[in-house]
Amino acid sequence: MPKFGIGTWRMGENENKSSVEINAVYYALKNGVRLIDTAEMYGEGGAEIIVGEALKKANVDRKELFIVSKVYPHNAGRDNLFTSLKKSLSRLGLDYLDMYLLHWRGRVPLRETVECMEEAKKEGLIKDWGVSNFDIDDMKELESIKNGDKCSVNQVLYHLASRGVDFDLASYMLERNIVLMAYCPLAQAGNLGNDILNNSVIKNIAKKHNATSSQIALAFIMSFDKRVPIPKSSSEKHVLENINSQNIILDKEDIELLNKEFPKPNRKMPLDIV
């Protein structure tokens, strides 16, 4: 999996914005992005259509791409998962997904979802599968199920001002080589929790690296092993800014300053979800 990708939450909800959104994804692809995250929930399939149109326009070799989508919890059982998956593939214009995630826990037993995911792998409809919004107890339960240890990703909300996963979940995942995909890595442009993009510590580090606050926030996430930020933007300027965050290497002093300003929790915190 690439160390950086783009998200598509809130895309595909308004037809008047579709051309701008298609262009944003296309622009990301033309500038080297290969990981795109989407879901059947986003715009009720609309975001997958946006991604599909951008993929068609960019015409990137399929083997270079890493496309992630997610299934609604109520569709994650034997009755609906394969139908949902095939609809997602149709909207994306693809034959298979590189990663298919259970969007969050629902009423369908995890055992049934895992069985379906493994069958989808055998049928060549997906390369791998994972989960989203799972806390450590959910992950432990998943691991106890037959083939539950095949889970390779857990996508969770993670940014500098929301580090609850650093108490226990992140280390648990790292020990098992499970990738942490970080959604809302910029705290929705600073609108979630603390206004991280206007934080003086981040701004000073950004100045040192001739970068933006957003780039520092993303570089911090990428400084960890097996953590992949997936920021979403419909602006070419911000898309390119986010992409270029991959070129920033934070030094030990930077990391120490950020850890001091945004410390890891010293107790268990509820998993943040939006």
Cα 67–Cα 69–Cα 73 angle in degrees, nearest 5: 165
- Residue 37's φ and ψ, nearest 5 degrees, are -110, 135
> How many other CB atoms are found less than 10 A from the CB of residue 33?
23
| Identity of the amino acid at 43 | G
Bin 149: left if φ > 0, else alpha if -120 < ψ < 50, else beta: alpha
Cα separation, 202 vs 2, in Å, equals 25
Closest CA to 152 of 174, 128, 175: 128
* Catalytic residue (one of 42, 72, 158, 183): 42
Residues 6+ apart with CB under 8 A from 200: none
Q: Is 238 marked within a binding site?
A: no
Neighbour order of strands in the sheet with 179-183: 35-37, 66-71, 99-102, 129-132, 153-157, 179-183, 227-229
Catalytic annotation present for 42: yes
Residues 6+ apart with CB under 8 A from 251: none
Residues 6+ apart with CB under 8 A from 47: 8, 9, 10, 11, 12, 13, 38, 39
The tokens for 174 are: 């790292």
The CA–CA distances, whole Å, from 222 to 4, 109, 158 equal 8, 33, 12
The tokens for 12 are: 């595909």
Let me know: does 221 contact 268? Beta carbons within 8 Å.
no
Q: Residues within the annotated binding site for substrate?
A: 103
Residues tagged active-site: 42
Q: Residues within the annotated binding site?
A: 103
